[in-house]
Amino acid sequence: MTIPIKNKEGIARMREACAIAATVLEQLKPMVRPGITTQDLEEAGRDLIARLGARSACYGYQHGSRRYPAHTCISVNDEVVHGIPSFRRVLREGDVVSLDIVVWHDGYVGDNAFTVPVGAMVPAVEKLLRVTREALDLGIRAAQVGNRIGDISHAVQTYVEANGFSVVRDMVGHGVGVSMHEPPEIPNFGRRGTGDKIKPGMTLAIEPMVNLGAYRTKTLSDGWTIVTADGTPSAHFEHTVLTTDRGPEILTVPRPLGAAQVT
Ligand code: MF3
Ligand code: CO
């Protein structure tokens, strides 16, 4: 499958969708504290998305015969991704909470994620979050025109493994644009110089999912929540990135909304 290339208008719309996704994520982060539930975060996220004139791309998302029941994905501790918010899940000091926000706006999708600690972390978890965030930075830096998708994968994997952690294999990053998942797949593991060539105008969701322990995962009986098989914590950081001749540009940054111009 060929990788969609966005034109100027598509890029302007992607900018807006991504800025909304980033704004929602940014506003949810400081709400993560002991005593609140993941359902509280869900409701705040749902309301913010609506207030910003967007729609959740997660709500009703179909996978097999199931539809995702919430507007946000909130994954705690050993939950890797696609955790379903719940009023039963009360956050406690020492938890780590991955927030994944995907919105539709004006026909385009913005996708980003961030892992937030609840209060103090033990050093190993602090390192897990730092290394995952840095792996995302390295993955983005590898998204240069003329490189290949495997260069992103390789950059993420080698950095994570050099730091003693493992990259999830069952879930991958992806192109994003007029739908949440477009070609290409962007694994967080792979070989340099393999995969599709990166050209200007691609919009890529780069998203290392990193486990403190082994890479294996399993799916809970709710059909959505992915957890580490060994029960160790996991971290997830994600940006939607535009590839350009001047280098990769992160689109999922909060900025004044409604200002995108078609030039
Ligand atoms: N960022 C997640 C992904 O790309 C969003 C999933 S929405 C869900 O897979 F509905 F599948 F949870
Ligand atoms: Co994604």
pLDDT reported for residue 165:
99
Whether 236 lines ligand 1, by a CB cut-off of 6 Å, is no
Q: What is the separation, in whole angstroms, between the first and last Cα of the chain?
A: 29
Radius of gyration, CA atoms only, the chain: 17
pLDDT reported for residue 122:
96
Residue 45 CB partners (closer than 8 Å, separation 6+): 24, 28, 56, 71, 72, 99, 101
Domains plus CATH for the chain? 8-251 (3.90.230.10)
Separation CA 232–CA 158 (nearest Å): 20
User: pLDDT digit of tens for each residue in the chain (263 aa)?
Assistant: 899 999 999 999 999 999 999 999 999 999 999 999 999 999 999 999 999 999 999 999 999 999 999 999 999 999 999 999 999 999 999 999 999 999 999 999 999 999 999 999 999 999 999 999 999 999 999 999 999 999 999 999 999 999 999 999 999 999 999 999 999 999 999 999 999 999 999 999 999 999 999 999 999 999 999 999 999 999 999 999 999 999 999 999 998 877 554 43
Whether 79 lines ligand 1, by a CB cut-off of 6 Å, is no
Separation CA 145–CA 161 (nearest Å): 26
Q: How far is the CA of 210 from the centre of ligand 2 (A)?
A: 14
Whether 21 lines ligand 1, by a CB cut-off of 6 Å, is no
Q: How far is the CA of 181 from the centre of ligand 2 (A)?
A: 8
Ligand nearest to C-alpha 99: 1
Q: How far is the CA of 48 from the centre of ligand 2 (A)?
A: 19
pLDDT reported for residue 259:
56
Q: Find tokens 């909130």 and name the residue.
A: 74
Q: At what angle do helices 123-141 and 149-162 cross, to 10 degrees?
A: 160
pLDDT reported for residue 261:
43
pTM of the prediction?
0.96
Atom from ligand 1 closest to the CA of residue 61: 10
Whether 102 lines ligand 1, by a CB cut-off of 6 Å, is yes
Whether 73 lines ligand 1, by a CB cut-off of 6 Å, is yes
